[in-house]
């Protein structure tokens, strides 16, 4: 009798709690990557091999209101060490969305819109090798350089109008001296049987001396199994005027194997002789549904001279980076 009473009480309580609230659709997804990374570098401290992990779990809640609004909440948990102290299970993103005929409002910790709409040459590459030898100011890709963090911000995305999409975002700080804003757009059209997408984005971070600005412009062409991207970016800040250009191509074979190749180069007009270039190839192979292997090999060259300020804390370097990545999605 006591068990029956407790069960009845629990059911009644649940009914009361849910009577005045909507039930949300909930989805849980996850991804994990294991990588073997090898680097041959002219700098002894950077030469060698290592294993890395990158895992995340995404919880997504969606609710449709009687008035036609779509309300969502997403939270992404990092499953691997994300801090210097090795803390795990850190929240990577946490944000709310409100969508309707007016577009979509995003409130919370997520990348700004410039990151969403920027088209970078190496977007066709599944596992881009990154290098830590270059200075923090030189571009190692053609992506928009600012507004790539998950700080708490306001974003708005326009409703799709034909092939046009776009939006803007704003981040504010307590002192108001490092506020950031960004905007971006994509325009997709059909041309001679091909799908062509034009993309542009910009981001600005305020500063007491000189604001930092970054832009990205690109075109992406898709023709059957063949894809091609040509992109350029620019960063302007205190003692920085960096321009970068890049191109990438990928082709999907009949058996599902994806072949890719890419190249990019950047240089700082305010730092004499500072240049970075990288070219590489990649193979993606689907082992089974949700399980993929990626092999990536690229060559890089970072040049620097004694005539600029970067020489105080960086060194020139040249070498090859290779990786094997096993990816699983759930």
DSSP string covering 279-325: EEEEEEEEEETTEEEEEEEEEEEEE--TTSGGGGT---EEEEEEEEE
- What pairs with residue 258 in β-bridges? 252, 284
- The pLDDT assigned to 89 comes to 54
Q: Residue 305's pLDDT band (boundaries 50, 70, 90)?
A: confident
No. of helices (H) and no. of strands (E), the chain: 2, 16
- The pLDDT assigned to 270 comes to 86
Is the CB of residue 281 less than 8 Å from the CB of residue 261?
Answer: yes
Residue 16 belongs to a domain? no
Distance, CA of 121 to CA of 228 (rounded, Å)? 8
Residue 291 belongs to a domain? yes
- Provide the domain count of the chain: 1
Written as six digits, the tokens of 325 are 């990545």
Closest CA to 140 of 130, 149, 148: 130
Distance, CA of 48 to CA of 321 (rounded, Å)? 10
Written as six digits, the tokens of 160 are 């799709």
| Rg of the chain on CA atoms, in Å | 23
Mean pLDDT across the stretch 25-43? 94
More confident residue, 268 or 8: 268
Residue 306 belongs to a domain? yes
Largest CA distance in the chain: 87
Q: What's the CATH code of the domain at 253? A: 2.40.160.10
Residue 76's domain comprises 28-329
Residue 19 belongs to a domain? no
Q: What is the per-residue pLDDT across 120-177, written as a single tens digit (0 to 9) for each?
A: 999 999 998 876 666 667 888 999 887 667 889 999 999 999 999 999 999 988 776 7
Q: For residue 258, what is the enclosing H or E element?
A: strand 258-268
- The pLDDT assigned to 46 comes to 82
- The pLDDT assigned to 175 comes to 72
Residue 12 belongs to a domain? no
Q: Residue 311's pLDDT band (boundaries 50, 70, 90)?
A: low
- The pLDDT assigned to 313 comes to 59
Closest CA to 297 of 326, 249, 260, 251: 260
Q: What is the per-residue pLDDT across 234-266, written as a single tens digit (0 to 9) for each?
A: 999 888 899 999 999 999 999 999 999 999 999
Q: Residue 309's pLDDT band (boundaries 50, 70, 90)?
A: low
- The pLDDT assigned to 150 comes to 82
Q: What is the per-residue pLDDT across 76-106, written as a single tens digit (0 to 9) for each?
A: 998 875 554 445 558 889 999 999 999 999 9
* Cα dihedral across residues 88, 125, 324, 133: positive or negative: negative
Q: Residue 21's pLDDT band (boundaries 50, 70, 90)?
A: low
Hey, what long-range contacts does 40-46 have (CB within 8 A, 24 or more apart)?
A: 40/319, 40/320, 40/321, 41/133, 41/317, 41/318, 41/319, 42/316, 42/317, 42/318, 42/319, 43/133, 43/315, 43/317, 43/319, 46/132, 46/133, 46/317, 46/319
Whether the per-residue pLDDT at 17 is higher than 80: the answer is no
Q: What is the pTM of this model?
A: 0.84
Residue 322 belongs to a domain? yes
* C-beta atoms surrounding 91 within 10 Å: 12
Is the CB of residue 235 less than 8 Å from the CB of residue 145?
Answer: yes
Residue 138 belongs to a domain? yes
Residue 142 belongs to a domain? yes
- The pLDDT assigned to 132 comes to 64
- pLDDT mean across residues, the chain: 87
């Amino acid at each position: 009798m006591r068990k029956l009473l407790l069960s009845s009480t629990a059911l009644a309580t649940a009914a009361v709690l849910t009577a005045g609230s909507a039930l949300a659709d909930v989805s849980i997804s996850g991804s994990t990557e294991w990588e073997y990374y090898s680097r041959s570098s002219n700098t002894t401290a950077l030469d060698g091999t290592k294993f890395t992990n990158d895992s995340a779990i995404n919880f997504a809640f969606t609710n449709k209101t009687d008035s036609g609004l779509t309300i969502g909440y997403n939270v992404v948990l990092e499953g691997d060490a994300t801090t210097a102290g090795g803390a795990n299970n850190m929240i990577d993103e946490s944000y709310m969305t409100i969508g309707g005929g007016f577009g979509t409002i995003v409130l919370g910790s997520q990348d700004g819109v410039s990151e969403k709409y920027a088209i970078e040459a190496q977007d066709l590459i599944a596992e881009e090798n990154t290098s830590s030898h270059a200075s923090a100011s030189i571009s190692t890709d053609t992506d928009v350089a600012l507004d790539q963090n998950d700080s708490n911000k306001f974003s708005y995305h326009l409703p799709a109008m034909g092939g046009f999409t776009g939006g803007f975002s704003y981040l504010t700080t307590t002192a108001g001296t490092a506020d950031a804003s960004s905007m971006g757009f994509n325009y997709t059209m059909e041309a001679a049987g091909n799908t062509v997408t034009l993309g542009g984005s910009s981001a600005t971070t305020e500063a007491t001396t000189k604001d930092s600005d970054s832009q990205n412009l690109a075109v992406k062409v898709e023709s059957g199994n063949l894809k091609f991207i040509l992109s350029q970016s620019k960063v302007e800040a205190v003692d920085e005027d960096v321009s970068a250009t890049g191109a990438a191509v990928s082709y999907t074979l009949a058996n599902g194997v994806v072949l890719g190749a890419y190249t990019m180069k950047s240089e700082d007009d305010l730092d004499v002789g500072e240049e970075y270039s990288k070219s590489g190839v990649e193979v993606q192979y689907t082992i089974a549904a949700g399980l993929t292997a990626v092999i990536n090999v690229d060559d890089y060259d970072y040049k620097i001279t004694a005539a600029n300020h970067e020489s105080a804390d960086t060194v020139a370097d040249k070498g090859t980076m290779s990786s094997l990545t096993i990816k699983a999605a759930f």
